[in-house]
């Protein structure tokens, strides 16, 4: 997490890491989420989801049980099904009721029967231990503070089967990149104005600026995943504008890399 922690209150004083706050935020964003995230990121979110799924192995994926944490409207499923066409099921877990509704409404025809929806807090999910062959999460980490990331890492370690693999990606703050001032200007100043103009005064999507500044990058998440017993590899995407963590749960007799 960033050492120069930003604020953790929104403009009305709400705790931006309270799961109820986050659920409300995404409920409000849900109807515009797909288009807004694609357009405001200039298509990068599409590429980063693809790159995240590319970190999962294709070998032996027949019948694989996949858990998509913070699944939202299911934007990662087309990538998953393209890379892993013989996967068994996708469990889509998300705390926002409306994000699930949006996902169901435009469900993904031929593969709808492969998807199970769970409306729950990922920090408290009672998905069974050693349940998943693969865990994926795209852009679902930044709304967790350090303490919550520690809990999430333990959940991922618990849910994964021994030998299971995971890949997570999140928008990040590209510290040290020469163009970072422009990136920050865009996130912190321009996006809020554009959103307010086009979405009638709303400032929900603009919270991404605060969340990414606080999140910084995925290195803290990587640390807590390691502490939870997983093998972890970190990667920067496009000069650190996104960062991923991928890896595996060792078999009990294996030592960690
Ligand atoms: C930025 S969206 C990402 C959605 C999707 N994975 C994608 O690639 O577009 C973040 C999602 O995380 C969900 N979320 C945030 N906190 C959560 C929690 N504690 N438990 C489950 N879902 C959560 C939100 O409801 C939202 O749908």
* Separation of CA 38 from chain center: 15
Rounded CA separation 190/231 (Å): 39
> What's the pLDDT at 3?
42
Atom nearest to 23 CA in ligand 1: 25
Looking at domain 5-248, its CATH architecture is 3-Layer(aba) Sandwich (3.40)
125 lines ligand 1 (CB under 6 A): no
99 lines ligand 1 (CB under 6 A): yes
For residue 30, give the ligand 1 atom closest to its CA. 27
> pLDDT band for position 187 (50/70/90)?
confident
Best of 16, 18, 53, 72 for a ligand 1 pocket test (most atoms within 8 Å of beta carbon): 72
pLDDT value at position 108? Answer: 62
Best of 68, 108, 140, 150 to mutate for ligand 1, by most ligand atoms within 8 A of CB? 140
Greater confidence, 199 or 215? 215
**pLDDT for residue 31:** 85
Residue-by-residue DSSP string for the chain: --SS----B-TT--BTT-HHHHHHHHHHHHHHHHHHHHHHTTTHHHHHHHHHHTTS--TT-TT-EEEEET-TT-TTHHHHHHH-TT--EEEEEES-HHHHHHHHHT--GGGGGGEEEEES-TTT--PPTT-EEEEEEES-STTS-HHHHHHHHHHHHHHEEEEEEEEEEEE---TT-TTHHHHHHIIIIIHHHHHHHHTTT--STTHHHHHHHHH--THHHHHHHHHTT-EEEEEEETTTTEEEEEEEPPPTTSPP-
What is the number of the ligand 1 atom nearest to the C-alpha of 49? Answer: 8
Closest CA to 171 of 184, 155, 189, 185: 184
Region of poorest pLDDT, from 40-49, 110-119, 196-205, 209-218: 196-205
Per the CB < 8 A criterion, the answer to whether 80 and 87 are in contact is: yes
Q: Which of 98, 115, 143, 150 to mutate to test the pocket of ligand 1 (most atoms within 8 A of CB)?
A: 143
Domain ranges in the chain are 5-248
Give the tens place of pLDDT for each residue, 237-256. Answer: 999 999 999 999 999 876 55
Judge if the beta carbon of residue 71 lies within 6 A of ligand 1.
Answer: yes
- Binding site membership of 168 for ligand 1 (Cβ less than 6 Å): no
Minimal CA–CA distance to 100: which of 122, 117, 84?
117
pLDDT at 4: 41
* SS3 state at 37: helix
CA dihedral (166, 1, 72, 191) in degrees, to 10, reads: -140
Average pLDDT in the chain: 90
pLDDT tens figures, 49-74: 999 999 999 998 999 999 999 999 99
Which residue did the predictor score with more confidence, 221 or 112?
A: 221
Q: What is the pLDDT of residue 2?
A: 45
């Amino acid at each position: 997490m960033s050492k120069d922690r930003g604020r953790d209150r929104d403009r009305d004083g709400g705790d931006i890491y309270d799961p109820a706050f986050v659920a409300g935020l995404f409920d409000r964003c849900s109807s515009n989420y797909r288009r807004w995230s694609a357009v405001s990121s200039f298509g990068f979110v599409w590429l980063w989801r693809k790159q995240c799924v590319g970190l999962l192995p294709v070998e032996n994926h027949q019948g694989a049980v996949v858990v998509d944490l913070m699944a939202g409207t299911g934007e990662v499923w087309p990538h998953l099904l393209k890379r892993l066409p013989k996967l068994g099921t996708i469990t889509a877990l998300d705390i926002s009721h409306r994000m699930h509704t949006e996902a169901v409404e435009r469900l993904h025809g031929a593969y709808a029967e492969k998807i199970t929806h769970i409306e729950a807090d990922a920090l408290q999910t009672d998905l069974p231990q050693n349940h998943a062959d693969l865990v994926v999460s795209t852009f679902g980490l930044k709304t967790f503070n350090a303490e919550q990331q520690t809990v999430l890492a333990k959940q991922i370690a618990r849910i994964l089967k021994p030998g299971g693999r995971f890949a997570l990606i999140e928008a990040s703050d590209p510290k040290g990149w020469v163009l970072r001032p422009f990136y920050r200007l865009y996130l912190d100043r321009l996006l809020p104005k554009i959103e307010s103009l086009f979405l009638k005064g709303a400032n929900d999507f603009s919270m991404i600026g605060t969340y990414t500044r606080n999140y910084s990058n995925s290195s803290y998440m990587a640390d807590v995943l390691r502490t939870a017993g997983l093998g972890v590899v970190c990667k920067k995407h496009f000069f650190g504008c996104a960062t991923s963590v991928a890896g595996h749960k060792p078999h009990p007799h294996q030592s960690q890399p």
